Structure 1
Amino acid sequence: MGRTALITGATGFVGGHLAELLAAQGWRVRALVRPSSDTTRLRALGAELAAGSLDDVDALTAAADGADTVFHLAALTTAPDEATFHRANAEGTRNVARAALRGGTRPRRLVYLSSYAACGPATGGRPRRVAETPAPLTAYGRTKLQGEAAAREVEPAGVELVTLRAPAVYGPGDRAFLPVFRLAKRGVAPVPTGPARHVHLIYVHDLVTALANAADARPGTWAVAEPVAHPYAELVAAIGRSLGKNPVRLPVPAGLLRAAGALAERFGGMVGGTGVFSREKADEMLAEAWVCDLEGSEALLPRATPLAEGLAETARWYRTQGWL
């Protein structure tokens, strides 16, 4: 029998793809799931379901016991306040780390999925290096950085740690880019005004390949992405091309973008929602560049999917599922 992997966040976008890949590679997949989670996809893979949450150290301990590698992917990307982000992304990761050390048979390795948001945007026209002092712009980024620190608590006890910082992830099953695809289908491509802004991206199949390879790669912190800094305007144009469209570029002034973020926060608070847009998210969109130094990541991702290819697959999936 193959090695056992515990995946937190296995019912999510990236986690579901990782579970499929590991199962195909012969791993025994164990997934931490809430009672309310849709586990249809995991059951089809023959995954072992471990009931629990990031708040429950006892359940986490039982789930991690005997696993070769713990892949910690569960996180909040939207929340009503920083305290909620902190509880999930920082304290939740600390609980995973503690659980890994409490079991009768400790995992050999912890693989933690972090984010470019944890280190902050690049400035001065050069990629941000892993060794640079982080400067996150958002509550999400700050708490993912705190999660990185919490994950390091396993190292003194001899559990190896690999931390992957990923940029925006797209691909089949993703909902974050779906509104951009829908606008492009209608022939509109909103682009912030001002200087050209560049971004790294990663196709979901590439990210899960990197995560799976992290089970045996050299411990450390690595940024993983397609090694191309795409101008944001070109990104939205490429999304249009994936749909056979040539969307009209709609300039959005920075002030209007921030005002929209403030309005979204106010409206979200009124209706009790968490929302996906805010003033902080506007600041992220207006940052100079989200580009990191990828040196050393070739061992994790030998070949990255070109943007046009990944977008075409994503658009095809959206259409098949009736999302577009």
Structure 2
Amino acid sequence: MKTVLVTGANGFLGGHLCRELLRRGYAVRAFIRPDSDRRALNDLPIDIWTGDLRDTTNVRAAIYGCDYVIHAGAMTQVNPARSRLVMDINVGGTAAVLAASVQAKIERLVFVGTANVFGFGTKKKPGDERFPYMGKRYGLDYMDSKRMATDLVLKAVRDEQLPAVLVHPTFMLGPLDYKLTSNALLLALYRGEVMGVPIGGKNYVHVDDVAAATVNALSLGRIGQSYILGHENLSYREAFTLMAGVMNVRPPVLPVPVPLASAIGRASDWKQQLTGQPAQLNSAMTAVASDGHYFNVTKAIHELDLPQTPVRVAVEEAFHWFRTNGCLVSN
């Protein structure tokens, strides 16, 4: 039986990765932070290893005896936009995993990045893996750190002959989001907390599809190649209407043009500077929401057998999971 080390195993995607690996007959070693939320791993027959991704000695020990590594561990914080910890973990942690993987001569490493390390496009001409990074404009350490980590992986492939494949999910939806990451948007819509509709949009994908393609990348895909894992390109108005319809609530209707979004972002930044506490938004977040982050996922469909579950199904399953787990409150 082949063993896979999964970093970030207790995260939204990580929990689905562990289940997919077990379903296919792999043994799983889960690398998680000490005292972190383990609910996504409850009752799974896996080996749990605790530590800090920046601790090179511990990372080497965790990888010892494993055949594969799926490096999904990262800090996804975007508020505040600048964070030394985000940089340290996403870049330094990736460097530690890469060095240990080279030393252990693992059979393959799958690095989980984000589609935002590539340039986005329009609905008519979506961005793909050839589009250069455009995220510098936002001033988000999360995006910048993931681009830097991606470059580290490519360098290890080139200079150290590391057998690595890179996958880059878009905006994931689905059940088992114990930490309330991307699915928090659904709860905000359900509770009537989303006041307006930004003019931008993004690509959405079922988390199970991402997990399936990521595990496929242990044997499929070309070394040193990147694959965007996504499905449907939707404007925020389209997405909010779909989500609200599934949850049987009214979608927001007030448009938020770029000047208004920018003003809200600046006001949020000033509030943070005055109080020392992050506001609900920041100028980087409102700038992102004003752009259309649309992507073409044809490469991953052809080379990684990326499934294409309708986004409506992902929303339905996420909402059902929220309901059955007592996460909903009345409007």
Q: In structure 1, what is the equivalent of residue 256 of structure 2?
A: 252
CA shift in 2, pair 1:66/1:135, >3 Å: same
Take 1:114 and 1:269, find their aligned partners in 2: how far apart are those partners?
31
Does structure 2 conserve the Cα–Cα contact (< 8 Å) formed by 1:119 and 1:141?
no
User: Residue 86 of structure 1: CA displacement?
Assistant: 1.7
Alignment of 1:1-324 (within 5 A): 2-39=1-38, 41-42=40-41, 44-78=43-77, 80=80, 81-103=82-104, 106-122=105-121, 125-136=124-135, 137=138, 138-155=140-157, 156-174=159-177, 175-186=180-191, 190-192=195-197, 194=199, 197-219=200-222, 220-226=225-231, 228-268=232-272, 277-287=281-291, 289-298=292-301, 299-324=303-328
Unaligned runs of 5+ in 2: none
In the superposition, the TM-score normalised over structure 1's length comes to: 0.88
Aligned-pair CA distance for 1:85: 2.4
Q: Which moved more, 1:289-298 or 1:310-319?
A: 289-298
Separation of aligned partners in 1, 2:39 and 2:307: 31
Question: How far 1:187 moved relative to its partner?
Answer: 5.6
Aligned CA-pair RMSD: 2.4
Alpha carbons 1:120, 1:141 under 8 Å: kept: no
Displacement of 1:157 after TM fit? 3.0
Q: Does the residue aligned with 2:253 lie in a helix, a strand or coil?
A: strand
Question: 1:167 is matched by which residue type in structure 2?
Answer: T
Residue 190 of structure 1: how far off its partner (Å) = 4.2
- Check conservation: 1:199, 1:231, Cα contact below 8 A: yes
Tell me the alpha carbon deviations over residues 26-71 of structure 1, each in whole angstroms, 9 at most, x when there is no partner: 1110011222123355362121122211110011111112212111
Task: Single out whichever of 153-162 and 84-93 deviates more from structure 2.
Answer: 153-162
How many percent of aligned residue pairs carry the same amino acid? 25
Query: Could you say what secondary structure the match of 2:128 adopts?
Result: coil
Q: Per the alignment, do residues 290 and 211 of structure 1 end up closer, same or farther by CA in structure 2, a change over 3 Å counting?
A: same
Unaligned runs of 5+ in 1: none
In 1, Cα distance between the equivalents of 2:270 and 2:5? 39
Amino acid at match of 1:143: S
Q: Partners of 1:240 and 1:311 in 2: how far apart?
A: 10
Number of matched pairs: 317
**Structure 1 residue 296: deviation in Å?**
2.1
Instruction: Give the deviation of 1:262 after TM superposition.
Output: 3.4
Deviation string for 1:190-226 (max 9, x for gaps)?
A: 44455xx342111111111111111111221111111
- Say which is worse superposed, 88-97 or 290-299, in terms of deviation: 290-299
CA distance 1:267–1:40, shift in 2 (3 Å): same
The offset of 1:308, in angstroms, is 1.3
Partner SS state of residue 327, structure 2: coil
Task: Kindly state the Cα deviation for residue 291 of structure 1 after the two structures are TM-superposed.
Answer: 1.7
Q: What SS does the corresponding residue of 2:143 show, helix, strand or coil?
A: helix
Give the Cα separation in 1 of the matches to 2:280 and 2:29.
Answer: 30
TM-score of the pair, normalised by structure 2:
0.87
Distance across 1 between alignment mates of 2:244 and 2:42: 36
Task: Label 1:279 to 1:100 Cα distance change in 2 as closer, same or farther (>3 A).
Answer: same
The worse-fitting range, judged by mean Cα deviation, of 61-70 and 298-307 is 298-307
